[in-house]
Amino acid sequence: MKKIRVLSIFGTRPEAIKMAPLMMELERHSEFESMCCVTGQHRQMLDSVMDIFKLSADYDLNIMEKQQTLSTITTKTLLGLENVFEEAKPDLVLVHGDTSTTFAGALAAFYHKVPVGHVEAGLRTYDIYSPYPEEMNRTLVGDIASLHFSPTAANAENLRKEAILGEIFITGNTVIDAMKTTVRSDFLFEDPLLNELDFQNKRIIVLTCHRRENYGEPMEQIMQAVREVVLQYSDVEVVYPVHLSPVVQECAKRNFEGLDRVHLIKPLDVEQMHNLMARSYFIMTDSGGLQEEAPSMGKPVLVLRKETERPEAIAAGTAKLAGIDKQNIVRMASELLDNPEAYECMAKAVNPYGDGKACERIAEAIQWYFGLRQDRPDDFLTKDLL
């Protein structure tokens, strides 16, 4: 029997983290020939994830350049994929999420009349400029895809309301699958500072802040708020893996220089970050991925944005929308630090993002789509975890 040739295309660290367990799952099935094409949109951080999960790329476009723009990422990816499609001849292309690589990969597949499976489909803020360009990327991919793998029922409902064509599956989020292999109680950090932190007697807050829409005054407000929290609570320390963006680097140094309980460190690979989060007290972030990862560890999340395309965490009570106003961020962080009941309520909420079987469901959905199984796979529903 001819194998189903599945080509996974991704280019950034978050995509690689969430696609790695899926490619590993596909490789366990003899009916699939799993191939991987990386664009290298994020070079160093992408390579780190590939190494951790022991993955190798069949095709590497290596598009990253200094001062790259959204236009250069998209056009170089489209042009680079021409030869990849000619050689790989995929039966299905898988893309993930909402990056420029995601959009260009889906568009290239459309040009070659290859069906697209969209992993992490249906997330929406309904504001095309927030997050930018992610909201438009994922919306456009939704119009192209034939298979939509939605992490939650709410994501699937977004697609139905938009009258999206194709098959919609509720799978859970593949990042929960990834964390089954990355978080370990005996883990040792590469940075000696992290091994020396007193996670038992200090309340360690993990901070990330890097989104384009927070550049400028919003980022100033966020970092001033974190500074105030540290000054108010003597047992609080903050670990901030600072994004490589010069804008972010300068803002962090300006606001935290001289504060010995704020540790500005280099970006962490996925294993380091997951294990840091697992030992932390709570998390403050404008990242999308961390909103999904933290609930599986029982860690409250304060979302440093005006809106989120992951409202399930808010509804479940694992995350709260703190916004970008200094006083509001300080107030919400103080509540978690002062009120044990409020903390426990968030820490013990049900994780709405999955049970660690998302990749298995996606593989079954692909089998069903190509007629290799009779029964459509069951959807993941949060109520099944209760």
Catalytic residues: 98, 120, 134, 210, 212, 243
Q: Are 102 and 149 in contact (CB under 8 A)?
A: no
E runs forming strands in 299-351:
301-303, 319-321
CA distance 36 to 58: 5
Residue 276 CA: distances (Å) to CA of 28, 91, 134, 175, 191: 30, 39, 27, 16, 11
Q: At 288, phi and psi to the nearest 5?
A: -75, -45
Which helix (H) or strand (E) element contains residue 26? helix 13-27
Provide the terminal-to-terminal Cα distance of the chain, rounded to the nearest Å.
41
Q: Are 174 and 156 in contact (CB under 8 A)?
A: no
Q: Are 42 and 13 in contact (CB under 8 A)?
A: yes
Q: Are 172 and 352 in contact (CB under 8 A)?
A: no
Task: Read off the tokens for 69.
Answer: 């723009």
Q: Burial of 378 by CB count in 10 Å (0-12 exposed, 13-18 middle, 19+ buried)?
A: exposed
Task: Read off the tokens for 5.
Answer: 């040739």
